[in-house]
Amino acid sequence: MEAHEAKRELESLRRRIDEVDMELLTLLEERMELGLRTRALKSGPLDAARELSVLARAKQNSLALVGEGFAQEVFSSIMAESRRLQGERHTIVAFQGEHGAHSEIAARSLVPGAATVPCVEFGDVFLGVQQGRFELGVVPVENSLEGPVSQVSALLPESGLWIRGEASVPVKHCLMAWPGSDYRDLRVAYSHPMALGQCRGFLARHKLEPRPFYDTAGAARMLAREKPRGAAAVASALAARLYGLEVIQEGIEDEESNTTRFLLLSRSPSEEGDKCSAVFTVRHESGQLLKALELFAGAGLNLTRIASMPCRSDPGNYRFFLDFEGTDRDPAVRDVLAALQERATSFRFLGCYPAGR
Amino acid sequence: MEPRETVAAVGSAEAPPVHAKSRARLVDREARPRTLVKVGSATVGAGLCVIAGPCSVESEEQVLETARAVKRAGADMLRGGAFKPRTSPYDFQGLGLEGLRLLAAAGRETGLPVVTEVMDPRDVSWVAEHADLLQIGARNMQNFTLLKEVGRCPRPVLLKRGMQATLDEWLLCAEYILAEGNPNVILCERGIRTFERYTRNTLDLSAAAAVLERSHLPVIVDPTHGTGRASLVLPMSLAAVAAGAHGLMIEVHRRPAEALSDAEQALTPEQFGTLMERVRGLAAFMGAGAAEREGGR
């Protein structure tokens, strides 16, 4: 083999080694997450019998190059690290999407030091928190370019969960592709429909066909694994880093101010706060909504958001979501809420929580 | 294609002036008042606009250092190549998209609008994401697919004259861009090929003056490529300004001897500083003269 051919071959093998390393890290992350989730279900971080069975399986399934000794060594050290993490008692926060999703970025800013666990659907986040599998959940509620996230608005009122906090996160999208793919050959862009909507202008300028996917970071992960031809993904810079993709262009959203508001959800309400949320329905009669809103005006409460969503079970009727400045410790606020509850055909207070900056 | 037609096509390499004149053209002087092309904070077509920077973007440090130097000396726009049309395929071909990112970052940092060459029609939308002004190089002047593509792009275009192109052929290339709906075209004289080999090309200053007669589009002059010799850049810059050019395009490198391309023709930042003083002085003098003449009428 000529020297330059050998060099090229070496480079190509090393690229594949890098890919495998990335995959190993992703799998280790997942293993640590699952370990953390077992913590609440057993008496302590160490379960000696379980560790012995893991090591036995490692020994049994050892391969030609990964021998018994090495396999057991690797698993011993993985389990030692898992025990250490379980001892640190990380808060477990669920989000929808894959690692690198904007929801995960929001979760990290809302709960620093938390262990963030990905879920495929919004429903999995709600159910997981309701059933106690996760301590907290983070979901997007509204985007400055694309409006409300309808699934979240549909799930929240019935979930019985409380809003404990909120964060407005600037959303910076990147166009990314497999390293070495030519940007001139790109024809399609995979991402969450919300993200594709936020980058409509950019995608049109480059004649990239938007292809909806269940998640932004999920699209990046799929790209890294399956390497479809002519395909790019729209996701965060974090996702590009996590899945070893090359960022072709940063900041591709149509408006630089692109922001998504996220809610932190839990089974119990927050102990303090200066902002409240509620959802209600009123009789379909003239002036009913106005009378409901007048209660807030009368008490001098500033509404920061009014959104309406069709009632799923009752077409033609709407559910109204209100956010307002104030605390439920304030008697005036309590009076307004009590009066609203009386007027409304259905009413739920969603929580009083610290307003995001 | 019939063989006879092929012969005819070769025989008519020079655009027949009679035919070309036979219909009104968007590029002609009479078509509209003088075009002013806005490029970010700069305007080309009124006063003197000086574009300066390295031949190629080589590294973050190199482009940023050069950008700061030309800004200090008073340049209005930053140039830098990311896709390089090199005579030899083994020469440095440019950093591509990464070069564009570095150039755009240097432009943001210094507040200078940036101009860079686009060579491939498929690159136009991508280059337009980073550049304020798209340059069509001399070698691509008659790449009609590329001209149509930039004609449909919402960015102004700097059209360099091909080294074998007549004035009319050059103007017809601008017509391609205008006809696609992009009115913002700047012409750039960069020297033509003659039998003289002392200079890299022969800078055809009469063409710059002729464009002013023939078209409403602004015209600038590139004495760096026009002469290929750093020592001739200053005198030819002065001559271009005296001939009425709306601007200059000058290659500046922090250390010309180390440049990855066109090392023998780039100015040092110090030489560029001197040049700026001299051309600004001349432009001010000429501007005052023009005002006197206007006043005397």
Q: Do A8 and A83 have their domain in common?
A: yes
Cα A105 to chain centroid, rounded: 8
Q: What is the pLDDT of residue A17?
A: 92
Instruction: Look at residues B164, B177, B158, B284 and name the one whose alpha carbon lies nearest to residue B222.
Output: B158
> Cβ separation of A183 and B126 shorter than 8 Å?
yes
Name residues of chain A where pLDDT drops below 70: none
Superfamily of domain B26-253+260-286: Aldolase class I (3.20.20.70)
Cβ contact B171:B149 at 8 Å: no
B19: pLDDT strictly greater than 80: no
ipTM of the predicted assembly exceeds 0.95: no
> Cβ separation of A207 and B123 shorter than 8 Å?
no
Last residue of a domain, one of A40, A66, A87: A87
Name every chain A residue with its beta carbon within 8 A of the beta carbon of B128: 205
The CATH number assigned to the domain holding A349 equals 3.30.70.260
Residue spans per domain, chain B: 26-253+260-286
How close, in Å, is residue A206 to chain B by CA atoms? Answer: 6
Q: What 3-state class would DSSP assign to B29?
A: helix
CA–CA separation, B42 and B63 (whole Å): 20
Q: Which residues contact A91 (CB under 8 A, 6 or more apart)?
A: A111, A113, A114, A115, A135, A136
How close, in Å, is residue A216 to chain B by CA atoms? Answer: 22
What amino acid positions of A are annotated as catalytic residues?
A: 260, 262
Top-confidence residue, B170 or A283: B170
Q: What is the pLDDT of residue A297?
A: 93
Cβ contact B58:B95 at 8 Å: yes
Residue A267: CB atoms within 10 Å: 17
The CATH number assigned to the domain holding A72 equals 1.20.59.10
Name every chain A residue with its beta carbon within 8 A of the beta carbon of B125: 205-207
B5: pLDDT strictly greater than 70: no
DSSP B222-284: -HHHHH--HHHHHHHHHHHHHTT-SEEEEEB-SSGGG-SS-TTTPBPHHHHHHHHHHHHHHHH
Name every chain A residue with its beta carbon within 8 A of the beta carbon of B120: 184
Nearest by CB: A184 against B122, B128, B129? B122
CA–CA separation, A177 and A197 (whole Å): 19
Q: What 3-state class would DSSP assign to A284?
A: coil
How close, in Å, is residue A41 to chain B by CA atoms? Answer: 50
Q: What is the pLDDT of residue A61?
A: 84
Q: Do A14 and A28 have their domain in common?
A: yes
Q: Do A77 and A113 have their domain in common?
A: no
Q: What is the pLDDT of residue A284?
A: 86
Chain B residue with CA closest to A184: the answer is B122
Top-confidence residue, B198 or B14: B198
DSSP state of B152: T
The CATH number assigned to the domain holding A163 equals 3.40.190.10
Token pair in block for residue B121: 């029609």
Of A26-30, A147-151, B167-171, B285-289, the least confident: B285-289
Place of tokens 């005052």: B288
Chain B residue with CA closest to A207: the answer is B125
CA–CA separation, A43 and B58 (whole Å): 60
How close, in Å, is residue A99 to chain B by CA atoms? Answer: 27
DSSP A114-153: PEEEEESSHHHHHHHHHTTSSSEEEEEEEETTTEE-HHHH
> Hey, of B83, B102, B122, which one would you mutate to test binding to chain A, going by the most A CBs within 10 A of its CB?
B122
Nearest by CB: B97 against A183, A205, A207? A183
Nearest by CB: B97 against A206, A207, A248? A248
Q: What is the pLDDT of residue B291?
A: 53
Of A14-18, A336-340, B6-10, B235-239, the least confident: B6-10
Print the domain residue range for A77.
Answer: 3-87
Q: What is the pLDDT of residue A147?
A: 87
Name every residue in B having a CB less than 8 A away from some CB of A: 97, 120, 122-123, 125-126, 128-129
CA–CA separation, A235 and A175 (whole Å): 7
Number of structural domains found in chain A: 4
Q: Which amino acid is at A114?
A: A
Q: Which amino acid is at A123?
A: G
CA–CA separation, B237 and B271 (whole Å): 12
Q: What is the pLDDT of residue B257?
A: 85
C-alpha Rg value of chain A to the nearest Å? 24
Beta bridge partners of residue A163, listed in sequence order? A265
Q: What is the pLDDT of residue B289?
A: 60
Q: What 3-state class would DSSP assign to A321?
A: strand
Token pair in block for residue A148: 């409300």
DSSP B173-199: HHHHHHHTT---EEEEE--B--S--SS
Cβ contact B52:B252 at 8 Å: yes
| Number of A–B residue contacts, CB under 8 Å | 15
Q: Which amino acid is at A276?
A: C
> Hey, of A184, A246, A247, A256, which one would you mutate to test binding to chain B, going by the most B CBs within 10 A of its CB?
A184
